[in-house]
Amino acid sequence: MKSRWKRLNLNVNKWVGFYSKVISQPPASGTNIEDDIEAAQKLYRLENNGNDFVDFNVYHNIMSKHPKWSLPKKGVISEVSESSSKRTRSNMDSSPHSINIQTTSSVNVDTPTSVEDINNRPKGREAAKRRKGKTKTTTTTTESTFNEEDKSLLNGISTDNKAQIQLRQRRIEADLQIAEMTRENIKMKSDMKILNTLLAKQHLIPDEEEMKKKLIQKYMSDL
């Protein structure tokens, strides 16, 4: 169970980070949520040996409801990113000899990587003036970052609250286990339905025969 939770936690942290990065960019004309998901999958595949993020069911039904893994709304992020782009262009026009420095600074300041960055950041032209010249280094949301944040929170709260957090954590793990079992049961029912269909057929093509052998070996080898 711990190893499964560790894998899910790592994969979801990566997915949230990549998806947040995608929707933080000003949307291209004609794009929709499917395009955003595919763009996030491309980033995910680059760091995961070409493998896609596949834990959507567990993430959307359980983990996305927790603040730790929730995603900001695209409209909010796009508004911040558009303001960032305007400030970057303004810096480049006013300081043509320091384009590299100004551009790097603007990216570090204005590219949001978490919901907290967006909620705490003022919006609009006046806010841009107040933040002009201020730099802030942001990092991609990873499992290690979440763990450090969790430790800091636990060190600053009472014993009773720690117990409540640990209880919620156990409940999340239990829900994840139930979701995983449910997914496995659905897969087994689907496989058994296919197997029954293949067993009822008298003449099978080679691919069907191969599939029948695999399903029999998977589900009936111990009978």
Residue carrying structure tokens 């450090």: 148
* pTM confidence score: 0.33
pLDDT in tens, the chain (223 residues): 556 777 877 888 888 888 888 888 887 777 788 888 888 889 999 988 888 988 877 777 777 777 777 776 654 344 434 444 444 444 444 444 433 333 333 334 344 444 444 444 444 555 555 555 544 444 444 444 445 545 554 555 566 677 777 788 788 888 888 888 888 778 888 888 887 888 888 888 988 889 888 888 887 765 4
Question: Helices 99-110 & 74-94, crossing angle to 10 degrees?
Answer: 160
C-alpha 55/C-alpha 48 separation (Å) is 14
8 Å CB contact between 44 and 82? no
Three-state DSSP state, 11:
helix
Q: Give kind and range of the element (H or E) at residue 88.
A: helix 74-94
* 114: DSSP letter: S
Query: Alpha helices, DSSP H only, in the chain?
Result: 2-23, 33-46, 56-61, 74-94, 99-110, 115-120, 125-131, 143-155, 159-200, 206-220
Q: Is 50 exposed, middle or buried (0-12, 13-18, 19+ CB in 10 A)?
A: exposed
Answer positive or negative: Cα dihedral of 196, 199, 203, 209.
positive
